[in-house]
Amino acid sequence: MNLTEDIKKQILDHAKEESPNESCGLIIIRKGKTKYKRCKNIAELPRECFVLADDDYIKAEEEGEIVAVVHSHPFTQPTPSDGDKVACEKSGVPWYIVNPTIEKWDYLEPSGFELPYVGRKFQFGIIDCYSLVKDYFKKELNLELRDYYRCDKFWEKGQNLYEDNFMNEGFRKVPLDEIQKHDVLLMHLEANLPNHAAIYLGDQQILHHVGERLSSRDLLGEYYIKNTAFVARHNSL
């Protein structure tokens, strides 16, 4: 889909107004006409990423058919990041990215993109420990876990999201000394509530993604064992 010059101007104006924060919006079609709908970026770090407000998305769906997502890269080239590629796949629609300073555009669309397990660059809520667990269970066990919105440092706000949501996804708690392949260790790393998930691969190896690090396979050593809140096993296993 090619954007008209008028739509591109609306997007660019919005991006310049929001800079240095990332702008975000949606392209909708209503009664055969294309419209750009500005949306609010509710990310806690809006200079680094965007989170589109649910209310804006719902209103856009009520106004017409959503056919594309738009956001800006105020400080970098509009080249899609891995986070953009992952989120584009989830959205199921094309994405347009613009740098408002140099007025340069880029475009991507869902193409079956998948990140490798090891070497992922951390981006909370998009490429993090839960998304790694989610991808692993889908690829290795053909189990589709639901995605959940999670704000950064949710555990500091008293939210026990990992325990609540893993139980909702059909997991049960098992003793640590009975751990087996495909079990998930829920850990509290420098926190009072579980804030990290690791997949047990067998032979004392775990696959996980710690904040601000690349995802990796590591030894299930004393530090991780000491900080394990509980082990979760899917009811299908």
Query: In the chain, what are the domains?
Result: 5-108 (3.40.140.10), 129-234 (3.90.1720.10)
Would residue 129 show up in a list of annotated catalytic residues for this protein? yes
Q: Is residue 83 within 8 Å of 95, Cβ to Cβ?
A: no
What is the spatial distance between Cα 124 and Cα 75, in angstroms, rounded to a whole number?
19
Would residue 88 show up in a list of annotated catalytic residues for this protein? no
Q: Give the burial class of 87: count Cβ atoms within 10 A of its Cβ; 0-12 exposed, 13-18 middle, 19 or more buried.
A: buried
Would the pLDDT of 45 be above 90?
no
Q: Is residue 32 within 8 Å of 65, Cβ to Cβ?
A: no
Would the pLDDT of 1 be above 80?
no
Residue 171, token pair as written in the block: 């997991």
Mean pLDDT for 155-176 is: 91
Which pLDDT score, from 0 to 100, does residue 90 have?
92
Mean of all residue pLDDT scores within the chain: 95
Exposure string over 108-142, b if 16+ CB within 10 A, otherwise e: beeeeeebebeebebbbbbbbbbbbbbbbbeeeee
The percentage of the chain sitting over the pLDDT mark of 70, rounded to a whole number, equals 100
- Per residue in 106-152, pLDDT (tens digit) is 999 999 999 999 999 999 888 999 999 999 999 999 999 998 878 77
* Higher pLDDT among residues 158 and 171, named by residue: 171
Mean pLDDT for 77-106 is: 96
Which pLDDT score, from 0 to 100, does residue 148 have?
84
Q: Give the active site residue among 39, 71, 129, 182.
A: 129
Count of beta carbons in the 10 Å neighbourhood of residue 76: 10
Would the pLDDT of 27 be above 80?
yes
Would the pLDDT of 95 be above 80?
yes
Would the pLDDT of 33 be above 80?
yes
The percentage of the chain sitting over the pLDDT mark of 90, rounded to a whole number, equals 86
Going from the C-alpha of 101 to that of each of 9, 68, 85, 124, the distances in angstroms are: 13, 22, 23, 26
What is the spatial distance between Cα 227 and Cα 218, in angstroms, rounded to a whole number?
15
Band of the pLDDT at 37, cuts 50, 70, 90? very high
Q: Is residue 231 within 8 Å of 165, Cβ to Cβ?
A: no
Q: Give the active site residue among 14, 71, 73, 208.
A: 208
- Per residue in 201-218, pLDDT (tens digit) is 999 999 999 998 999 999
Would residue 196 show up in a list of annotated catalytic residues for this protein? yes
Mean pLDDT for 140-167 is: 88
